[in-house]
Structure 1
Amino acid sequence: MSDQTQHADRLLRMAVNRLPEAVIIYDTDDRVAFVNEAYRKFFPHMPPVEDLLGRRFEDVIRYSMGTAGVVLDPLARSDPHGYIEKRRRRLHHPQANPFEQLTGGRWHLVREFRVPGVGFFSLRSDITEIKQREIELKLTRDHLSRQAQQLAEARELAVRARETAIAARLEAERANRAKSDFLARVSHELRTPLNAILGFAEIIRDRLLGPSATDRYAEYAADIHGAGNHLLKLIDDILDMAKIEAGRLELSIDWFDARSLFRDLLHTCRPLAARNDNLVLADLAPDLGAINGDVTRVRQVLLNLLSNACKFTRGGEIRITARRIVADDSGDQASSRDWIEIVIADTGIGMTEAQLARVFDDFVQADATISRAYGGTGLGLAICRRLCDAMGGDIRLTSAVGFGTSAILRLPVDIARTDPSPEMRSGAY
């Protein structure tokens, strides 16, 4: 080798030794031909540079495999010879593109290539800080993504909470209006009979018709009695709703004959029907039998429904239908017991879909014009629904404006052994 060539070789080695990248070169016999100083910094577990020169490739790999944390490939532990062969294949057929490798706790960017007739070159750059920044950036992105998701969820919750608050406020306003309307109706309902009671009582007290008007005084006393009963009914409704709201409603359960109950109801409602020229018809199945329940509450519900039918029908017909639904063995809870189904249908003024949707609400009547024209507090149907729930049954209405209304009531024959059913409460039967 000429002096000029030797000088160039020294300059080249000096330059390569000053590189921050690790360089190792294997000759065509797979022996170490050159290692720069940076290589020892990358692999401090390896022998000194002068000891590496001339070492076979397999020896270098075994040095690396013998140091914990340097070789992370599981094949190096499960099949050392297989791992060495794998690395030998890469030595003779290096990867065409750079790749990243975690070695000894550090990240390296590895470039490998083979020069025919010269040997194998490997150049490694330490990219640990770059990888750490990438990991930190990814963690930051993930954190920001989670925060953005949490913010979106919080915003959605806030929107829902606002919508709920608005709905609650509107419902509270509706309830307040309903209760205000209820108080106005109650005041009107109380004032009318009280005026009659006071007026007739004053006439009787002062004998304004003279001492001989005994028959007229008796009529006025009867009017006072009727007005008093009306007041008592209003007060009973209010007390019933108060008990129901407080959860203090108690049922008095005993056996009673269904047909006897209907006979009493027909006798009671016919005078109510006659006031509006209505005809009352009954279609009672012969096998109604006995019911184990609270006869007073059942009578209260049916009388309320019949009174509504008579009040909202003029010159029409009210038909009462009752049948017994016998239990079957289908396994369905609603079918495993006997039921009494009662339908009270009238040919009265009927209701719209919107009125039907609110008719069972507390303190609500179908609409204000009906309240003014027909009176009432709006508690009757709400109490009926609550009483039916308490007795394990349900009530629902069907109606069409101008064609009348039908109330369908279902009660278990043995109320004492029946819990209220969600299906029955929803009216889905």
Structure 2
Amino acid sequence: MVAEARDGHALLAEAIDTLDIGLVLYGPNDTLVFCNKAFKEFYPGSGRILTVGRSRADILRDMIAAGIMPPPSDDLASVMGKALGCQAGDWPLVEQRLSDGRLMLPTAKRTPSGGLVFVDVDVTQTRRREMALLEAKEKAEQASRIKAEFLSNMTHELRTPLNAILGFSEMIMREMSGPLGDPRYRDYADHIHESGCYLLSIINDILDMSKFNAGRVELREQKVDLAQAIDSAIRMTQERARAGRLALSVRLPPGVPPLLADERQIVQMVLNLISNAIKFTPPDGRIDIEGALTAEGGYCLSVSDTGIGIAAEDIPTALEPFGQVDSSISRHHVGTGLGLPLVKSMIEAHGGTLEIASQPAKGTRISLTFPPARVLHAA
């Protein structure tokens, strides 16, 4: 039995010696019982200090004096007192950089018999991977910022020539300098103007989206007449609704409260939702705009249609910038896929939320909920 115990002890010691982690064991009387090979390799020159039977106080003092352990930031007596007087788990153990550049993470625990176990783990590779991931993340964020700033800075360069195209084509359409010789020129001017308007709307959407992504959008808050904002959006879309044989109705309860909001963004949100509904609703369908106060005191504005609808699994795609939900009808319509993401960014900038309820072939309902702080009640 003694021989078996001795063999078992030898095997255990051999196993601990082959570990890649450093392990030191002190007995109940705070003297060294065991120190494995890895720990000694972590701290070159410590072999002559870490001898069995020595007290932890002597070992700690000699390790610091020999420069094997990091020099104390405080006076030696204070450091020794803290290290020897603390209970296990209370030591201010922090990562240590060894002389060869490796990083060690120490831990300490008491044994049931009152002994003390110190374990050192080499975390160099872990920290390097973390640093590599952090650097990659920072580079990606920097690239995103550069892209967003580039798009934002293109405002003048892109809009100026487009405005000229639109202005001159409109002059041709109206024959402001005299009649055109061939009526086809008027059609050409119509096409130029229509294409210019569409291109300008795309550029505006991209620039607005880039500003939101770059966090450069500031709300121009003012008292907004919500009913009037909705009416403005309807005036801009009713001709398209009529051309598509769509019934467009507004059902708002009397006394719609004003909102503390950015008026341009409010109109843009409603305009985008109505335009989307027109785009994806077949002829003879209907589009309804409704609003009501919420139980919490906020205001919910919704636009519903009887269009093609969106499958539940496609809704996240529809809310992603440039996301295009694939369908036989949507493929017949041009668009960048920025309408809904812009609305989502705008309502969130106001502290509100966007919700989509939809079923394929049955229609879609998109609700914008403004928080109570945005609702201005009459005094």
Q: TM-score, normalised by structure 1?
A: 0.46
Separation in 2 of the partners of 1:242 and 1:290?
29
Contact 2:318 2:340 in 1 (8 A): yes
How many residues end up aligned between the 2 structures?
245
The answer to whether 1:277 aligns with 2:236 is no
- Match of 1:409, as an amino acid? L
Separation in 1 of the partners of 2:357 and 2:191?
36
- Deviation string 1:96-153 (CA, Å, 9 cap, x unpaired) is xxxxxx9xx9xxxxxxxxxxxxxxxxxxxxxxxxx969xxxx899955xx56xx58x9
Q: Identify the match of residue 400 of structure 1 among 347, 352, 359.
A: 359
Contact 2:280 2:329 in 1 (8 A): no
Q: Identify the match of residue 236 of structure 1 among 199, 204, 210.
A: 204
Alignment match, 2:229: 261
Q: Say which SS state the counterpart of residue 280 (structure 1) adopts.
A: strand
Deviation at 1:370, TM superposition (A): 6.6
Deviation at 1:345, TM superposition (A): 0.8
- Match of 2:301, as an amino acid? I
- Match of 1:228, as an amino acid? G
Contact 2:230 2:270 in 1 (8 A): no
Alignment match, 1:411: 370
Calculate the aligned-residue CA RMSD, in Å: 4.6
Deviation at 1:313, TM superposition (A): 0.7
Alignment match, 1:304: 272
Residues 400, 248 of structure 1: alpha-carbon distance in 2 compared, 3 angstrom cutoff: same
- Match of 2:280, as an amino acid? F
Contact 1:313 1:349 in 2 (8 A): yes
Q: Say which SS state the counterpart of residue 221 (structure 1) adopts.
A: helix
Higher helix share: 1
Separation in 1 of the partners of 2:117 and 2:224?
72
Contact 1:288 1:340 in 2 (8 A): no
Contact 2:233 2:268 in 1 (8 A): no
Separation in 1 of the partners of 2:312 and 2:246?
25
Q: Name whichever of 297-306 and 366-375 sits farther off.
A: 366-375
The answer to whether 1:317 aligns with 2:286 is yes
Q: Give identity over the alignment, percent.
A: 32
Contact 1:293 1:416 in 2 (8 A): no
Q: Say which SS state the counterpart of residue 289 (structure 1) adopts.
A: coil
Alignment match, 1:365: 324
Contact 1:350 1:403 in 2 (8 A): yes
Structure 2: gaps of 5 or more residues: 1-28, 32-51, 55-110, 148-157, 174-178
Alignment match, 2:64: none
- Match of 2:318, as an amino acid? V
Separation in 1 of the partners of 2:276 and 2:180?
41
Residues 297, 257 of structure 1: alpha-carbon distance in 2 compared, 3 angstrom cutoff: same
Deviation at 1:368, TM superposition (A): 7.8
Separation in 2 of the partners of 1:362 and 1:401?
22
Contact 1:253 1:416 in 2 (8 A): no
Q: Say which SS state the counterpart of residue 382 (structure 1) adopts.
A: helix
Separation in 2 of the partners of 1:276 and 1:344?
17
Residues 364, 370 of structure 1: alpha-carbon distance in 2 compared, 3 angstrom cutoff: farther
Deviation at 1:343, TM superposition (A): 1.0
Q: Say which SS state the counterpart of residue 250 (structure 1) adopts.
A: coil
Separation in 1 of the partners of 2:281 and 2:195?
22
Separation in 1 of the partners of 2:248 and 2:372?
25
Deviation at 1:228, TM superposition (A): 1.7
Deviation at 1:227, TM superposition (A): 2.0
Separation in 2 of the partners of 1:259 and 1:413?
18
Contact 2:299 2:375 in 1 (8 A): no
Residues 313, 154 of structure 1: alpha-carbon distance in 2 compared, 3 angstrom cutoff: farther
Residues 245, 211 of structure 1: alpha-carbon distance in 2 compared, 3 angstrom cutoff: closer
Alignment match, 2:105: none
- Match of 2:306, as an amino acid? T
- Deviation string 1:333-366 (CA, Å, 9 cap, x unpaired) is xx3xx42211111111111222112222222222
Computing the radius of gyration from Cα coordinates, the structure with the larger value is 1
Structure 1: gaps of 5 or more residues: 1-101, 106-130, 180-189, 327-334, 418-429
Alignment match, 1:225: 193
Separation in 1 of the partners of 2:257 and 2:115?
77
Separation in 1 of the partners of 2:201 and 2:224?
24
Alignment match, 1:251: 219
Contact 2:303 2:366 in 1 (8 A): yes
Contact 1:292 1:413 in 2 (8 A): no
